Amino acid sequence: MVIIASYNVDANPVDLAEGLPNLSVIISEIFVAESIIEDLKYIPTALWAMFETLQMAFIGTVIGIAIGLPLSMLAARNLNSKFVYAPTRALLAIIRTFPSILWALLFVIMVGLGPYAGVLAIVMYTIGFVTKLQYESIETIDSDPMDAVSSIGVSKFQLIRYVVLPESASHLLGQILYMFDYNVRQTSILGIVGAGGIGFFIINYIKFFEYGKAAIFMLIVLITVLIIDWFSVKIRDKYIVKSQHGMEIRTKESRS
């Protein structure tokens, strides 16, 4: 099937091999000594643009999660009837159909060029993407605690507050961290339609064949992503991995 699909989309490895020399031309233009010295003066601009990108990703992720979590509760099959979760999933599927760059283009038309359009695009993409991950995590919760709590006549809100959220908390935290990391990188692309952020500079420099300047900005993106990944690992170790180990230790002690 892979061979057939590759043939249908003209995926020819020979074309890739023949195009590799073109990459060396770009690399040689980036590492010209005079050009590097001149391009270093753009680092402050790159840092400020990256700061704007981080703010866009942060706002979009927080608002998207805040809207998406209640929707994921409505979309979970183990919490609602099909008359509730079916239309909710259909709505989320519609939102998820549009990629973030298309959302950005639509909001640029609505509110104009700039980071605000990018923030709105990230919000919509986060709602569509993370909600699917969340309601699938909620559906994997063990039914025994839910049945036990439901049998004493608690309300749906109490069931979600004291069973659903605690049981799925580690998954939800991991999804939030992943979504923020993804949105930072995704925001770097939204500049292609004028939605602000560091991507606006990268796209314009590449468009005018100023690969050295674009490389400086992409290097700032790389460093930022590595830092975010490091913080993400620390948060996971503290709130997810250690808590899971603690549960295992308590279980072994109780058995002994």
| pLDDT value for 122 | 92
Q: Out of 76-85, 86-95, 240-249, pick the least confident.
A: 240-249
Band of residue 33 on the pLDDT scale cut at 50, 70, 90:
low
Dihedral sign (CA 5, 19, 182, 90): negative
| pLDDT value for 236 | 79
| pLDDT value for 64 | 93
| pLDDT value for 251 | 43
Average pLDDT over residues 63-67: 93
Tell me, rounded to whole angstroms, the distance of Cα 223 from its chain centroid.
17
Gap between the Cα atoms of 246 and 228, Å rounded: 26
Average pLDDT over residues 221-249: 74
Band of residue 32 on the pLDDT scale cut at 50, 70, 90:
low
Percent of the chain topping pLDDT 70: 89
Higher pLDDT, 57 or 163: 57
Average pLDDT, the chain: 81
Dihedral sign (CA 89, 90, 95, 98): positive
The domains located in the chain, with CATH, are 34-255 (1.10.3720.10)
Gap between the Cα atoms of 72 and 98, Å rounded: 19
Q: What contacts 61, CB < 8 A, 6 or more positions away?
A: 122, 126, 176, 179, 180, 183
* 126-175 pLDDT per residue, tens: 998 889 888 888 888 877 777 777 777 777 777 888 788 887 777 888 88
pLDDT of 181 strictly over 90:
no
Band of residue 61 on the pLDDT scale cut at 50, 70, 90:
very high
Residue linked to tokens 């249908």: 8
Band of residue 252 on the pLDDT scale cut at 50, 70, 90:
very low
Residue linked to tokens 């991991």: 174
- Please give the torsion angle defined by the CA atoms of residues 215, 29, 20 and 203, in that order, rounded to the nearest 10 degrees: 40
